[in-house]
């Protein structure tokens, strides 16, 4: 199935698709192997910084090659998709579309509503003229920008009731931009807060879902509880983003591998435990996200 069809299928079944960010080839294989193990579709995400490191066209070519290889032996029936996560300009969105990405996100959460709508609409128009079926996501409500361990909630992040994305604003945003997906602020934040992330506002998720009749995306799910994630899926979320927990697993796995094998110099040997640590996190999250 295409990504659009996969999203529609998840929505019909009241389940969700896991979206996992990567920075290296180890990350790609961690996500792909976890998806193959559990037989579920996945989305591989690369933010602007991650794309700059891996290479925009390079990561598209790698995912395309893996997808083609999986198709040969019937293992890609459920889909491996590539998303340009958190993109802050039209030019970078255009770059990802031209490189062959399946979906793109324009993140205008820190802009005025009018400017956010204007640029998001520009991205949607370009995607529609691309000749391919590109999924475009818009963001409404600031939830921070850093996927890392935080000492406190980022200043300005929409976690209080008054700062959450409002249903009436979401309706206008979806109507005037034509986006396929909407990422609202519902108490979620990027990164993991020491001491625990705030609870998600499930009621607001449901209100926005019903008001817009648009598939929703939950960003910053690394620090949220399993119950919160499950309840957002029940209330209209169809894609769940995880990044920080993968980064922590990779770093921890690598440090452990190097400390236990101080004389090992072959990267494919000392990196493997780090890759497997990421894969374990992906599998755990997929169980929560998909309900399998």
- Rounded Cα distance between 285 and 222, Å, is 9
**Catalytic: 85?**
yes
Q: Other C-beta atoms within 10 Å of 264: how many? A: 12
Catalytic residue among 33, 73, 85, 91: 85
Question: 83 phi and psi, to 5 degrees?
Answer: -125, 135
Annotated catalytic residues are: 85
């Amino acid at each position: 199935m295409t990504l659009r069809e996969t999203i529609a299928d998840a929505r019909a079944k009241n389940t969700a698709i896991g979206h996992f960010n990567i920075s290296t080839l180890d990350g790609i294989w961690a996500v792909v192997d976890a998806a193959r193990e559990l037989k579920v579709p996945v989305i591989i995400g690369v933010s602007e910084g991650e794309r700059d490191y891996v290479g925009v066209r390079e990561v598209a070519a790698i995912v395309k090659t893996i997808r083609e290889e999986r198709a040969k032996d019937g293992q890609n029936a459920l889909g491996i998709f590539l998303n340009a996560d958190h993109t802050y300009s039209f030019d970078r969105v255009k770059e990802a579309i031209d490189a062959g990405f399946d979906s793109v996100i324009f993140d205008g959460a820190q802009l005025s509503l009018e400017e956010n709508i204007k640029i998001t609409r520009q991205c949607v128009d370009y995607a529609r003229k691309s000749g391919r079926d590109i999924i475009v996501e818009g963001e409404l409500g600031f939830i921070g920008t850093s996927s890392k361990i935080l000492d406190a909630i980022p200043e300005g992040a929409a976690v209080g009731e008054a700062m959450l994305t409002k249903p009436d604003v979401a309706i206008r945003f979806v109507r005037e931009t034509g986006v396929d997906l909407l990422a609202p602020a519902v108490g979620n934040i990027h990164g993991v807060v020491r001491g625990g992330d705030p609870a998600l506002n499930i009621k607001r998720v449901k209100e926005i879902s019903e008001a817009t009749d648009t598939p929703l995306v939950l960003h910053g799910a690394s620090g949220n509880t399993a119950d919160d994630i499950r309840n957002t899926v029940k209330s209209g979320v169809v894609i769940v983003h995880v990044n920080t927990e993968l980064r922590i697993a990779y770093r921890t796995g690598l440090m452990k591998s190097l400390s236990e094998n101080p004389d090992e110099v072959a990267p494919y040997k000392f990196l493997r435990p780090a890759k497997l640590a990421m894969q374990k996190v992906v599998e755990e999250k997929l169980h929560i996200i998909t309900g399998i």
